[in-house]
Every structure is written in C-alpha cells, then in structure tokens.
Amino acid sequence: MNFMNPIKRLYLALDAWFNLSFGYAWNPLYNLGTLTFFFFWIVLVSGIYLFIFFDSSLSGAYNSVEYLTHEQWYIGGIMRSMHRYASDAAIITIVLHMFREFALDRYRGFRWFSWLTGVPLLWFVITLGITGYWLVWDELAFYVAISSSQLMDGLPLLPGTMSRNFLSEQINDRFFTLMTFLHLLGQPMFLVFALWFHVKRLSDVKVVAPQGLAIGSFFALLVLSIVAPAVSHAPADVSKTPAVLNLDWFYLNVYPLLDFWTAGQVWLLTISVTVLLMLMPWLPIKKRGPAAVVNLDNCNGCEQCVKDCPFDAVSVQKRTDGKRWENEVVVQDDLCASCGICVGSCHSSNPFRQSDKTLISGIDMPNLPVNDIRNQLKVAVSELKESVADGASKIIIFGCDNAIDFKNFKSTNVAIVNFFCAGMISPTLVEYALKLGVDGVFITGCRTGDCYFRHGNKWMDERFEGERKPILRKRADRTRINVFRAAETDCVQLKMALDEFQECIMQLNQQERIAEDKVEG
C-alpha cells in the first residue's frame, strides 16, 4: 500500500539509527516483544512484594499503600514506582510493536493469527492496569471506580446499578477483596493464557530480553522511580469531587470521554477501534505463495527443517512409505509462510547432486524449486562469462526478495539470483556458484536481527559458521564470499559494499595470477 511507504521508510531510518546507537543485538526496536516480557517480570516481582504489605480491606488499602510509599520508601516506595513505570513501559512496547508490524507490513497473510490474538492482549493489559489503580483507593481510584462502573452500566446485559452503589457507599470489604483477587490472580492468569495463545504458532520464541538491554531498561526504571516516585492522591471521599487528577494516559485514556459522551458512545468507539484493528489483516488480504512440499523419495527424516521452521509449520511423524528411514516430515499448509528456509535446511538440496538430472529436494517450494534455482545460477554464470572481459571480476548476488529490489545492481559483471529469504540459501549452493566459475558471491538480505521471516539470517549465519547443519565446508574459499545486509533505505551503503567487494575480488584474482606466473616460471 503506497500510503505506508513513508511510514515504513521512517521506521527503517529509526532502525538504522538505533543500530548505530545500540548495535543489532541490543536494538530496542528489534526486541519490543522480549522487552514487554521483561517489564511484565518487573511488574510481577514488584507486585508480589507490594502484596505482602497490602491491606485488602476497603478501610486499610490506602493506609497500607501510604506506608509503603513514605515509611518504607527505600524499598516499598521504589517497588511501587517500579510497578507503575514498568506497567506503563509495557503498554509503550506493545503499542510500538503493533505499529511497527503494521508499518513493515508484517501483520497480514500468514501472520494474521499473531495480529488477531495480539489486539485483545492489549486490552487484557489495560484492564489489568485499571484494577491496579482501583486498589490504591485514593481520589484517582474513586474516579476510576465510578467511571468504570458507568461503563459497565452502559452494557445492555448488566442491571445498570453499579455506579449508584459507589455513590451511595454500598461497596464493602468483600467487594474490595474480590477486586484484589482479580488484579492479583484472575486477570494475570488470563494474560498468561493470552500471551501463550499469541505466540503458539511461532517456534523458538524468545521471552528473555538481551542482557544489556534488560539491565539498561531496569536501571532507567530505577532512576525514574527515585527521581519521580509514584505517589497517591488524597484518600477517596465520596462526598467531594477532586479538583485535580493526574491521569495515567496509558491506561485511563478513554475515561475523560465520559465527561462529554455517554457510556454507550464510549463503548461504540472502543469496540469499533478494536474490531477495525482485528480486521486489518484482511484490509486488503495479502496473498502468499504455495506451501512447501515434501518428496519422501529424497527425505531421510533428519528433522533439520523441523528445527529451522520459524512458524512450526513442519512436523515429524513415523514413516508412511515403508522405506528404511524411521521418520518423515509433514508440512501443515495453513501455517507455512512460503519462506523457503526449510529448503536451505535440507541436505538433499545440494546442487552437486545429480548434476545432469533434475534436482529434487526432500522439501521444496513449488513456486521456486531448487532445480530452477540451480538452472538460474547456471544461466547467470554463463552470461557473465560471455559478457565479462578477461581479468574482470564476475560477481553473483544472492538476494532476499524482502530486503531490496536488486535489479538496479545488475551489470555486465554482476548477476543476480533471488530468494524468498536468506535462510533459503544453502551453503552448498554458494560452493556450487564458485565451482561454476564466479569470482565472488555477494549475499544480502534483511538487516541483521530483523529478518522478515524471523530466523532466516540467523540460521544462514550459523550454517556458514559451522554451528548449524548443513554447514559451509572448510574447503570453500571464504575470502570470495561476502555478506552485507541492508534494507530499502540502505541502497547507497549496499552499493559501496558491493564496489569494495568487487575491488577485493580483483585484487585476489591478480594475486592468484601472479602466483601462477611464478609457478610456471
């Protein structure tokens, strides 16, 4: 969608700036999900401490919070402030995460489930925060209680007397204890279930933030808690209206609307926004390619593709064709992202196999089979040999379709082979390109730490470093292989890196010719 392009470019520019400031591993924009989990841990630990001293009665709640805030400021006060600010930080990271996925078009197609389950997750967190403000039982808490009651009264299925109970002081210790239970146990249980449901279709889910980023975030919250500690308003008093209330706009943003709108109108707004957000993956629908297919004649059930699939679309089961192998892999079509990472994982994708016959892999992409990739590579190398003068370098670019449009980088001595993802690139394919006679292989794709298909970059790096199968063999000339990752806003840097690589290859060629002349001499 064209209107998204400026937003996407802005996000890519912010990513680049944060990469320079924090590095790829600690870039907060690449770790919004794990940061949210980290803030939840802070909320949990601080909440447990606060509950130890909390009086869950209507008359004792305010005094117990005041004791923690002022008498025990050195621990209890800091814990309260950390609890408050970590809750706010979680809302910020969730909203940024949602907006980022939208801006980078990572919410449609095969990602619809994560987006659809993520929207209610935001409201689970907000309602959990609202009941937390309620428990302090100060003027702000009373305002929250009255406003929440008005909203509840606006629902057609409820009797519409809840707000009158507050105004007539009908709320007792039992009701307040119920609210404490909801905040401490009931709502957190729903939140944990919602979080699990949100990530259930993903494999290798990270819930731990990078150590440096976690430490930095913790100390930022600690400093904020000391410099600007969270404090209560005056005690709740049904007989008077507070003159000033300091709202937490992250959690209480819709409440001021009740001063101008009816509860029904506020519900109409919030429900409409929620429904719109949940329908966005189909506005419009994003088409995806066909799912990966398994060829059992070439599959030995090694399960490497199962380990590498970022979306748990590939599973293993007992062999069904009676061959000597014990297991076979199965693709669940509705979960497949059509990324091709499984192809790069498959040992039978080796292009050196059956060099004179059709190459059939154990698992393959119907819209870009391994045999077609091998044929494209052969044609590209043949054209380079015909067009490149003697002594000039012949470079092949292996490029990811989700990074940059590489057609502008094609030239007389540079050919291009496109892949769905960098994780689709098998190390043996790089070796094969060098064997065919190219002087250098230049690999590029999504920025490090921000692969469109989650783990494509990571798996490719581990294969090249010998940490993940299939590995790049030691006999491969690594001086003729270069990896430079970039996004749409990095075309200038990519061109410079490509030029430097070509210069490096020319020097290597020259050194080899000199060495050969010395041997012949």
pLDDT digits (tens, 9 = 90+) for 333-380: 999 999 999 999 999 999 998 777 899 999 999 999 999 999 999 999
- Domain-embedded: residue 58: yes
Q: Measured at the alpha carbon of residue 240, what is the angle toward residues 239 and 241, in degrees to the nearest 5? A: 140
- Domain-embedded: residue 287: no
User: Chain-centre distance of CA 61, in angstroms?
Assistant: 39
The string of pLDDT tens digits covering residues 7-54 is 888 889 999 999 999 999 999 999 999 999 999 999 999 999 999 999
CA gap 177, 183 in Å, rounded: 10
Q: Are 485 and 409 in the same domain?
A: yes
CA gap 451, 229 in Å, rounded: 39
CA gap 340, 293 in Å, rounded: 10
- Domain-embedded: residue 285: no
The string of pLDDT tens digits covering residues 204-226 is 899 999 999 999 999 999 999 99
What are the φ and ψ backbone dihedral angles of 300, each rounded to 5 degrees? -100, 10
Q: Are 275 and 302 in the same domain?
A: no
The pairs formed by 403-412 with CB atoms below 8 angstroms and a separation of 24 or more are: 403/444, 403/445, 403/446, 403/447, 403/452, 403/485, 403/486, 403/487, 403/488, 404/444, 404/486, 404/487, 404/488, 404/490, 404/491, 404/494, 406/444, 408/491, 409/494, 409/495, 409/498, 412/387, 412/388
- Domain-embedded: residue 271: yes
Element (H, E) at 196: helix 187-199
CA gap 414, 388 in Å, rounded: 9
Q: Which domain holds residue 265?
A: 28-236+247-279
- Domain-embedded: residue 124: yes
Smallest Cα–Cα separation from 40: which of 221, 204, 162, 202?
Answer: 221
Q: Give how many domains the chain has, as a whole number.
A: 2
Count of Cβ atoms closer than 10 Å to residue 184 Cβ:
18
The string of pLDDT tens digits covering residues 235-284 is 988 777 777 889 999 999 999 999 999 999 999 999 999 999 999 999 98
What are the φ and ψ backbone dihedral angles of 448, each rounded to 5 degrees? -60, 130
Q: Are 195 and 332 in the same domain?
A: no
List residues bridging with 316 in a β-sheet.
Answer: 329
Which of 227, 256, 279 is at the close of a domain? 279
Q: Measured at the alpha carbon of residue 445, what is the angle toward residues 443 and 450, in degrees to the nearest 5? A: 140
Q: Is the dihedral of CA 399, 400, 401, 405 positive or negative?
A: negative
The string of pLDDT tens digits covering residues 451-484 is 999 999 999 999 999 999 999 999 999 999 999 9
282: DSSP letter: B
Q: Are 209 and 339 in the same domain?
A: no
Q: Are 271 and 418 in the same domain?
A: no
- Domain-embedded: residue 12: no
The string of pLDDT tens digits covering residues 86-112 is 999 999 999 999 999 999 999 999 999
Q: Are 472 and 466 in contact (CB under 8 A)?
A: yes
- Domain-embedded: residue 128: yes
Residue 289 scores a pLDDT above 60 = yes
Q: Are 216 and 304 in the same domain?
A: no
Query: For the purposes of burial, counting CB atoms within 10 Å of the CB of 40, is it exposed (0-12), middle (13-18) or buried (19 or more)?
Result: buried
Q: Are 330 and 452 in the same domain?
A: yes
3-state class (DSSP) for residue 468:
coil
Q: Are 60 and 186 in the same domain?
A: yes
Which of 279, 302, 334 is at the close of a domain? 279
Q: Are 331 and 389 in the same domain?
A: yes
Residue 264 corresponds to which amino acid?
G
Q: Are 499 and 371 in the same domain?
A: yes
The string of pLDDT tens digits covering residues 140-167 is 998 998 898 889 888 876 665 655 565 5
Q: How confident is the model at residue 1 (pLDDT cuts 50, 70, 90)?
A: very low
Residue 168 scores a pLDDT above 60 = no
Count of Cβ atoms closer than 10 Å to residue 219 Cβ:
10
CA gap 339, 288 in Å, rounded: 10
Q: How confident is the model at residue 170 (pLDDT cuts 50, 70, 90)?
A: low
Q: Which residue has the tokens 């507050």?
A: 166
User: Chain-centre distance of CA 205, in angstroms?
Assistant: 9
CA gap 445, 454 in Å, rounded: 12
What's the CA dihedral at 204, 205, 209, 212 to 10 degrees? Answer: 20
The string of pLDDT tens digits covering residues 387-430 is 887 778 899 999 999 999 888 899 999 999 999 999 999 999 99
Q: Are 341 and 420 in the same domain?
A: yes
The CATH number assigned to the domain holding 62 equals 1.20.810.10
Count, residues in the chain: 521
Q: Are 119 and 146 in the same domain?
A: yes
Which of 257, 279, 301 is at the close of a domain? 279
**Per-residue pLDDT, 3:** 47
Describe the strand order of the beta sheet including 440-444 as a list of residue ranges. 414-419, 395-400, 440-444, 481-483
- Domain-embedded: residue 5: no
